[in-house]
Amino acid sequence: MAKLVELRNVYKIYSEGLESEVRALDGVSLTIHKGEFVAIVGQSGSGKSTMMNVLGCLDIPTRGDYYLEGTDVRDLSDKELSRIRNREIGFIFQQYNLIQTLTVLENVELPLIYQGVNFDDRRDMALEALDRVGLSARIKHKPTEMSGGQQQRVAIARAIATKPPIIMADEPTGALDSRTGHEVLEFLQQLNREGTTVILITHDNGIAATARRCVRLTDGRIVEDKVQEVDWY
């Protein structure tokens, strides 16, 4: 399998050299290949959110190397990083991050607008994504008119509308009841079966156990990296 993500001895240090120095990532090396389903698991303060920010090109390491599909991310300009985030990675967040004043359809179209996709094509792509998550009948609704589970499905549709090779999900079930959370996980598993690389950030060991690979972080260091047997792949 081809390497998709590669961290080499990565540090993310806040207030370096000061008494308040925090090593959010402390010499992390990690390779993720195309088509993997990886859970990055750890408790609050473990460094998992910082790792997501680095992997998602939302933050740059203090030291060390990060290669995304062979490109050294540290060499890229802010504009190039923004383009990579938009084209390569679909983000799903715990709090959905939907724009409340826009309709469901308009929310899903946003990343396509940023990519410069023309009106007809982006409308078709957004409708296709909403159909996949079972929300074709709700396209004119505002997020405030929907349940938490429905809003998370809108967020998933927005993430997959551009057909990115990577889905990065940060605690995607954290605000949902167990049944709805299970549905979200099943959808991520289906995307993975279709070839999408899924990186799931969680504090929940039960959710991490559903991933094909589990990387455990403690105090900014990887303390466990194991392949897991799953019943869905």
Would you give the DSSP letter of residue 171?
Answer: S
- Where residue 12 falls (left for φ over 0; alpha for ψ -120 to 50; beta otherwise) is beta
What's the one-letter identity of residue 216? R
Query: Looking at the domain assignment, is residue 9 inside a domain?
Result: no
Query: Looking at the domain assignment, is residue 198 inside a domain?
Result: yes
Query: Looking at the domain assignment, is residue 153 inside a domain?
Result: yes
The tokens of 67 are what? 């290669």
Which range marks the domain in which residue 40 is found? 35-60+78-227
Instruction: Summarize pLDDT for 6-29 with one digit per residue, the tens.
Output: 999 999 999 999 999 999 999 999
Nearest to 143 by CA among 207, 111, 97, 184: 97
161 pLDDT more than 90: yes
State how many domains the chain has: 1
Query: Looking at the domain assignment, is residue 161 inside a domain?
Result: yes
User: Which domain CATH number covers 93?
Assistant: 3.40.50.300
How many angstroms separate the CA atoms of 116 and 100, rounded?
Answer: 23
How many angstroms separate the CA atoms of 85 and 88, rounded?
Answer: 6
Query: Looking at the domain assignment, is residue 28 inside a domain?
Result: no
- By percentage, how much of the chain surpasses pLDDT 90? 85
Query: Looking at the domain assignment, is residue 5 inside a domain?
Result: no
